[in-house]
Amino acid sequence: MSTKSTLRSVLFAFIFVFLLGSISTALAAGETFQVVSVDTVGCNSGNFGMTVERANLDGGTYYVHTVVTVGSLIYMNEQASISVNGLSGWNIFDNFTYGAVPNPGTYPIPAGQQMTLDFYLERPVGTVLYTWQLVVDGCDTGNILFNGAPNAGGACSLVIPSGSVVGEAPAGAQAYYTPGQAAPGVVLNPGTYTVIGQDASETYYKIVLACQTLWVRKDTMQPSYQAPQNGTPLPTRIVS
């Protein structure tokens, strides 16, 4: 092989490796759209608000497809355009700009029912670049059951049994993996939590926390007097 051919081959190889490295870096730093926090709650259009973070956008136009589901009904199917990185507010609206759905819900969204928010970052419309999912215990309470990327760690698949009731831990509570076995360092903040039932000894409540179930002593929980619970007694059924 001639010297020129050898140099040409080396140059092409170098360019190929350089471009491959550039492409890999670009893909690794892909565009994201994530929910950071739930800021306001409510079940009418515009009430439920979050802070979201957009990252690695290149300044062009992207589209966020937001789908809000409660039970078998869809309460939002929105197409919104974004182009700027950073934090911003994001609210639930009676908006179907992405297209009509066969099962639309009527506002206000039912209170006290698990609500799932799916976000699809797209460019062009219909080509999904990134997905994110938020699951809360209700539009009126906003306690987070799951908040993450389904394509990275799997969406929350926890099914909360019918008859569960939202109760309150006014002073917080030590969490237990099973009745009598404390979870070191896991302490509930004061607030409301979904109660599924009690253990056979009638000493502990089984609750939902971050898309998993844990136990707390019954004497740390009480009925929630916020709407829509309005003091509904906590379930007495025995669960395991």
Count of positions (residues) in the chain:
240
What does the DSSP 8-state code read for residue 104? B
Tokens 């009745």 map to which residue? 179
Q: What is the pLDDT of residues 188-233, one digit of tens each?
A: 888 888 899 999 999 999 998 766 788 999 999 999 887 777 889 9
| Bridge partner residues of 74 (DSSP) | 69, 104
pLDDT digits (tens, 9 = 90+) for 155-185: 566 677 878 888 899 998 998 988 998 887 7
Please choose, from the candidates 138, 148, 42, the residue with its C-alpha nearest in 3D space to the C-alpha of residue 94. Answer: 42
- In angstroms, what CA-CA distances link 152 with 42, 130, 145, 147, 148? 29, 10, 17, 12, 8
**In the chain, where are the structural domains located?**
32-153, 165-223
Write out the two tokens for 204: 């502990």
Omega of the bond prior to 235 within 30 degrees of 0, cis? no
Cis check for the bond before 124: say yes or no (omega within 30 of 0).
yes
Instruction: Please check whether the domain covering 165-223 is classified as CATH 2.30.30.40.
Output: yes
Residue 158: per-residue pLDDT: 66
In the CATH hierarchy, which fold is given to the domain comprising 32-153? Immunoglobulin-like (2.60.40)
**9 — pLDDT class (breaks 50, 70, 90):** very low
Task: Please state the three-class secondary structure of 27-84 as a single string.
Answer: HHCCCEEEEEEEEECCCCCCCCEEEEEEECCCCCCEEEEEEEEECCEEEEEEEEEECC
- Largest Cα span, the chain: 88
